[in-house]
Every structure is written in C-alpha cells, then in structure tokens.
Chains A and B, each alone.
Chain A
C-alpha cells in the first residue's frame, strides 16, 4: 500500500490532538494533587506558626495527599487581605478571622455549622464566647478556635515593694498601688492611643465594670451618656494622671511591650505574649511577670475584651469539599489539642474539653486567660453583632472619649462627643 507523506494539515491535526491530550492529562494530574491555601496573621507566638508549617500541614499531606499552603500576613494587615479576597473573590481558600469578621464577611463565607457541631461534640462543647462572634443568622460562618485574652500584666517584685503581694481586686485598689508605684519610679503603661488591641483591651472592660454601655442590647438605643460613664471617665483621668506617663496617649500596640521589656512600667494590659517572650529572651523579667484578671468596678463585676479567633472558608474556593475536610481534620481532638499546645494556650481554647488540659499546667501563670473567658465580650456588647460595632471601634469612639479626658477635656464634653458619634454611627447602620 503506497504511503503518502503527511500533509501540513495532517501535521496540524496531530499537533492539536497531542496538545489536547497533554492538557487533559495535566488536569488529571492537578486533580490528583489538590492544594489549598490557609491565610493567617503572623502569630506573636512563633512556635504556633512553626507547628502549622512543619507538623500539621505535612501530616495532612501524608494522610490525604492534599497540599496546604500557610500564607502568613503581617500583624495588623490581615483584615485588608481578607477584604481584598472577599471583594475580588480570589485568593486563599480559607482564612483566620478575628473579632466580628464572620459577621462582616458573612456573604462571602460558606456555612460550616456541621464542622463546628462535630468539633463541639467531640471536644466537650463550645464556650459561649466562641460562638458569640461566628454565628450569623443561625449559621456558623467560622469554626471557633481560641481567644487571645487581654489581661493585667504586673511586676510582682515592684508591687511587693509597695506592699501589694497579690494583684488588687478593684480599680480603686489598682489606682492606690499605681500611685505608690509611680512615686517609686515604676509607673503604669496602659495604651490610650490608636492601636488595634491593647487600648480596647482595658477601656471597654473599665466602662462595663462601672455599669456603663455604648448601646442597649436592642442594638439601637445609645446609652453612653450616663452617670456610670461619667464615673468611669473621671476614674480613668485620675488613673492616668496618678499612675502613668503622658506618652501612653500616643501609644500603639508595640509600645507597652517595649516599655515592659525595657523595665519602664510596672503594670499594663496585654495578651500573654509579653511573658512568652520575656521567658525566652529576658528570663530575669520573665520571673517577675505575672497575670491577673481585670479589676472589678463599683458594680462588683469584672469584664474582659473578647478577641476570638476562628477559621472560615471563602465561597470562592474552587474546592469547598477539600477545604471543609481540612478544617474538619484540624478540629479533631488529636490535632486541635496539639495545635493549642504549640502556642502555650495563647489562643485560649473555646472548646470546653480543653479547660483542664495538661497544656495549661506548662505555665500556670497563663491560667487567668482561661478563667477570663466567661466574662469576655466583644466591643459594643451587649448589642448583637453589627457593622456599627465595627465602625465605632474603627473610629476609636470609646478609646478617644477616655483619651481626651485624660488629656484635659471635661467629662461632659467627651461624653457628649462620643454620644453624638455613636448616634450617627448606629443610625446609619
């Protein structure tokens, strides 16, 4: 049979068929090795991120063949990245979330109620604080993880020198200690500037412990203009004048850490990251650093700020099943327990099953962070989750009310300004 040489058209056909075949085989190969991206903020606790990268992710890949990329974002930059991902519907499949973000990004997050229910059942149920920030319209929009509490950090040696062997139980007691300590050359350093955490961490609890609120539980009635707020503002001004340095008015979050490790201050409100770092790099300071719950106000109650971390899945993920499977696996007792322990319980577990975990015994000075959870709330409490709540925080309404009073403005003026701002914010929302 005569064999004619292939024409140019034949060649093109063959080439096209080959390319298509290669493309299909590539798709198959890609399907075989799924990959996911989990975005997270750089943790202050380095071992936490290392554990995810070096232990959890390789273990999951070994078990399932699915590659997971841990995409770290600098501290304070995560919300911008989450916003970009949600708005452009592209980028990472999953993300860590703080505060009320599951509410803010509700429409761009998939329902993970089944995973949260399963994790709750397997680990003794959820603390209320864990669910307060993630349940939107009855659905979990993030799987709760842990709370980065903000508590009192105090120098046991210096407090002891002025006669305080234990941490004062009330704000008035703390004022008395602070007055003595400032005179002794060891002032307090509580952030009153525009940081993102250490200011809200003590000013909201101070307000609440005096019986004052921004807004009623109906989420509409503004009640900041009250005698209770005035008493809290008056106390704060005196507390600032008698115990602190002027500089705290301009502080952002790194300042109190630096001042603590520079041995400039004897008390501040911070997460446990100061002690964590001091133990490793400044052991002498670590030995005399301790934690305590926030003091009680005239109401006889104490409060703490809730800074809940959760993990959610974006609706734009190309493989929701794979992302769900990964989150489900992470929240199984074996994985999640070791994950919490890798950060020395810096993320205080929202899962009740870990309340008595041996991991808490590694450093008993961290225990107040566990105990603070029942009295912790989001800014804007007792109102339900809302966008107005975020706007009030972003505009520093409560922080600036106190800061302006400390800088010399009258109690009446600062409350009146906060009242006007809150009315506008909540009216628009």
Chain B
C-alpha cells in the first residue's frame, strides 16, 4: 500500500483549532517570545507611567509655558534662570543636607534596630510588626501629629522642657531656621527607620548562623563577627535600601509641605516643594519642571558613585 493511499483523518474545525492552539503554545514557549511576553507589560507600563511623564517634563523644562497657554520654546532659558536664582541654590543645599543626614541616621539607626530585632526575645513578632507603624501610617496624618508636637503653644516637648527648667515658651522648633531643618530631619528619620530596619533584618536572616559559630570557635569577638561577617554579607541589601532611601528622601514633599511649606524664609524648601510652588501657585510649568528635573543629575551622581563603590568592594 503506497503512502498516497493511506487514509487521511478528516480535517474538522475542532481539529484545526487544536492544531492552531498547540502551534501557538509552541510559539509562546520559545524563550525569545516568552521573555518578551513577560517583560512587555511592565515595559509598556513603565513607558506610560514613568517614561512619558519624564520626557514630557524634559520637554516642558525647555519651554516658557505658563499654565493654560500653549507656551513657547526657550531652550535652556529656565535652567539659566535657576542658575541665577539664589533661592534655587538654597533649595539645592537644603535638599542635599536633608538627604545625606537623614540617610546616614536611617542607615545607622536601622542597622542597630535590625541587629536588636534579630535576637530572640519575648513577643518578638509583635515588636517587629509594631516597628513598622511609622512607615504604615499615612505621612500626612503622622505629620499633623508632629505639627502638634512641635507647636510651642501645645507642644508636649516644650511642656516637658519647661517643667525641667527651660525658660518658657521653650524652643521654637519650626520658627528657628536651624531647628526647623533639624526637626524635619528627625521626623523623616523616624518615618524611614522601619523601612531600613525591616529590610536589613531580612538581610540578616539570610546569613547562616554556622558562619558566626565557626568564627566564634576561632576566637572572633562580637565586633569582629559584625565587621568581617555581618557587614560584608549585608552590603548588597544595604546598598539597595540606601539607594531607595536616597531617591525617596531627595524627592520628599509631603512632610515639608504640611509642616513648614519651605519656611521660615526658605530654610526648609526642598526641590519638590519649590518646584510645586512655581508650577502650581505661580503657574509657571516650564520653570517648575526645570527645578524638578534639576534633581536628576545629583541623584544620578550619588547612585552611580554608590554603584561603583559597591562593584569595587
């Protein structure tokens, strides 16, 4: 019997569909196709929600674009205006000081907290969960609570200080330019500490106890174990969490906007609050966008420097 005489199974509609499905499945299971299918939606999402606003912001920053008008292209005019604006430089200095000090405090405090939380003690899980509270409470709400704490008229802090002998009405937490910045740094640290602590705690728990046991057997002290085992193994996590913290702190808005609105006399104005005031209150979108985009170079510089440092290690 020749091959041509072999009975051919009838091609039914459902047969075709099954064949089509399996071919489609084969196609989607190819690595090149599957990886694109997986990565495609996030890329589209990022393009729409991050890429487009970012590029539109770049475009706006090159325009003289008052609100509700079409505007005109002015090249680097807005950046030159910022360069000559003393308040812009004050804002830049404020933002850098605010970010560096809070990040340092959060890193040191967070690491300390994580080391303590990594020990065994009663109600460990409850304490770990409670630690997250400052991070969970909406910033605007916790900031309003801080507003009362720092208001000299009603401040519990001032009440305690006056009771301890400090002359009334006590320190002006938000009225004195230096104290205002310090107060914001403390509140931001209070709010960001749990993020550091919990992330570092997760990192600590991946370190095998055997390493510590071996080191102890070899006579290593607690400090040596921390310095030569814990810290090096924790570094990748520390890098990631520091990077996140720098980005979030550098672009902080709510805390300052609610508490001081950049006052007194710009002593606490940050890039985000200054950009918002220019774009929204003054209605100068182009100039506001240029202030906001000015965050990019220093932020990129810090992150690249951190990445290089990590790679060298």
Query: Of A80, A83, A396, A424, which one neighbours B81 at CB under 8 angstroms?
Result: A424
Query: Of A193, A245, A249, A259, which one neighbours B261 at CB under 8 angstroms?
Result: A193
B277-A394 in contact (CB<8A): yes
The reply on B44 being an interface residue by CB < 8 A is no
What are the interface flags for A382-394 relative to B under an 8 Å C-beta threshold, 1 for contact and 0 otherwise? 0000010011011
A387-B172 in contact (CB<8A): no
Query: Of A258, A403, A428, which one neighbours B154 at CB under 8 angstroms?
Result: A258
The reply on A420 being an interface residue by CB < 8 A is yes
Residue of A nearest to B77 (CB): A428
A108-B68 in contact (CB<8A): yes
In the bound assembly, the distance between CA atoms of A379 and B311 in angstroms comes to: 55
Query: Of B81, B175, B262, B278, which one neighbours A249 at CB under 8 angstroms?
Result: B175
B281-A79 in contact (CB<8A): yes
The reply on B109 being an interface residue by CB < 8 A is no
**Interface of A with B (CB < 8 Å)?**
79-80, 83, 86-87, 104-108, 192-195, 245-252, 255, 258-259, 262, 264, 387, 390-391, 393-396, 400, 403-404, 407, 417, 420-421, 424, 428
CB distance from A254 to the nearest CB of B (A): 8
B280-A417 in contact (CB<8A): no
The reply on B67 being an interface residue by CB < 8 A is yes
**Interface of B with A (CB < 8 Å)?**
64, 66-69, 77, 81, 84-87, 151-154, 169, 172-177, 180, 260-266, 277-278, 280-284, 287
In the bound assembly, the distance between CA atoms of A258 and B287 in angstroms comes to: 35
20 A–B contacts from the bound complex (CB under 8 Å) = A83-B67, A83-B283, A194-B262, A194-B264, A245-B172, A245-B175, A246-B176, A247-B169, A251-B263, A252-B260, A258-B153, A262-B153, A390-B281, A390-B282, A394-B281, A396-B265, A403-B264, A421-B85, A421-B87, A424-B81
A residues in contact with B287, CB < 8 Å: 428
Residue of A nearest to B288 (CB): A394
CB distance from A397 to the nearest CB of B (A): 9
A residues in contact with B77, CB < 8 Å: 428
A residues in contact with B85, CB < 8 Å: 421, 424
CB distance from B139 to the nearest CB of A (A): 16
A395-B87 in contact (CB<8A): yes
In the bound assembly, the distance between CA atoms of A224 and B44 in angstroms comes to: 52
CB distance from A317 to the nearest CB of B (A): 15
B residues in contact with A83, CB < 8 Å: 67-68, 280, 283
